[in-house]
Structure 1
């Protein structure tokens, strides 16, 4: 009997209660490298809460989060980041008064555990300068390198956040609605970045996304949350075609009941 490889990321019976309300209810999922999993569901289904439990922004009422078999359940968000979980938020989380390049530098320094002294560190680590330049090029922000993060349009702020995430080189990338608030012209850049990460085959990618065209294009797997519980899990075509998913998520009548 072939033994399944250890998942890069796994949640076991992950649960959180707010008073009498169970926002995430005993969700168990295993994620493998080289796979992009889209997490979908109606508003209030528990998608972002599930993300917050994995990245440590919320403390679980029960259950575990494991990275390569290592239990992260008692770790802080920063400790989970250093362990290898990278999270991009629905709302950008940048250093607004620093330049684009300085934001990337801080992410690289965090990755290397080099502290926050920008001038001293960078005068002694030329390889980090070269890495920062590559990241800026990857996210198409070289021309904006000296602009402050706060001065960037929303689309460029999202690109910078993805760049900071790339600089951290996590094993697991978590994107919470990465195209939210972006113009039609800006969306392809973000999708190309995610596609590039996926092509590396050693990264695990989780994506919360409402736009089903984006999900169809990028996802290898879809899991559906409904009222905090795992309702469906499988290949995109099969999950999207499932009558229970069409009814609960897409608001359509089940196929067998359709006229």
Structure 2
């Protein structure tokens, strides 16, 4: 059996007497896009936080390529290939979109911490950053300060920075939230393109069932912090207990 790229084993976190994530065990393979769904308060974002290192686990393990990373920092997990959009990446509001992406590429290439002075003279970094901006259709905004971007474009820039990081595992937490009808398809197309490369693991927290049906190879359902269902989208969506208790009865119409 092929070793999963990412895995959680009995992953648990307690806040006082409340168990927010309750012994969740899941293995995620390279080339697979898994949608994580459930009602508000089900533990989806907390599970993401445990995997990416924003909060410490009370029990259980997180493994990346078979290595136990449960006690590693966010930065070390990131360096190891774990990337999370919208919470891992930080935008620099006084810099341009191009400068933001260029800094990520330079940091990934480990060229040191005097980033701005070095990047300014490095045409290779600039070209690589422009290529990423072209993928997210933001080339025309390359010289615009981040503080002047719309909310939707700031979120697209965060996706661009995650792509520039080039992780083995992509984690998207409601990637189209707050975007207009014109902006959202760009991000969804990007995620579909990453999935088509078939060498990365993609985790997606999403409420929009049409997005899940289009992109997901697999759905896991969390409820009260525990794993309630896990399987192919058709099977999971067809489960009556999922439709009625976890996702809403209107899912049956999707």
TM-score normalised to structure 1 length: 0.93
C-alpha displacement of 1:115:
3.0
Question: Is residue 152 of structure 1 aligned with residue 161 of structure 2?
Answer: no
Give yes or no for contact 2:89–2:161 (8 Å, CA) kept in 1. Answer: no
SS of match in other structure, 2:234: helix
CA offsets, 1:100-155, max 9 Å, x none? 01110111122112233234322564322221111011011111011111110111
Q: How far apart in 2 are the matches of 1:196 and 1:190?
A: 10
Question: Is residue 20 of structure 1 aligned with residue 10 of structure 2?
Answer: no
Q: How far apart in 2 are the matches of 1:78 and 1:233?
A: 30
Aligned mate of 1:199, from 191, 196, 203: 196
- With 85-94 and 206-215 compared, the bigger mean Cα shift is at 85-94
SS of match in other structure, 1:101: helix
CA offsets, 1:230-253, max 9 Å, x none? 000000011011011012123339
CA offsets, 1:25-45, max 9 Å, x none? 000000001110000000000
Q: How far apart in 2 are the matches of 1:97 and 1:125?
A: 21
Give yes or no for contact 1:122–1:128 (8 Å, CA) kept in 2. Answer: yes
Aligned mate of 1:29, from 16, 26, 43: 26
Aligned positions, number: 252
TM-score normalised to structure 2 length: 0.95
C-alpha displacement of 1:205:
0.2
Question: Is residue 61 of structure 1 aligned with residue 62 of structure 2?
Answer: no
Residue in 2 aligned with 1:245? 242
Question: Is residue 117 of structure 1 aligned with residue 114 of structure 2?
Answer: yes
Q: How far apart in 1 are the matches of 2:212 and 2:100?
A: 29
Question: Is residue 184 of structure 1 aligned with residue 181 of structure 2?
Answer: yes
Structure 1 segments of 4 or more deviating over 4 A? none
C-alpha displacement of 1:95:
1.3
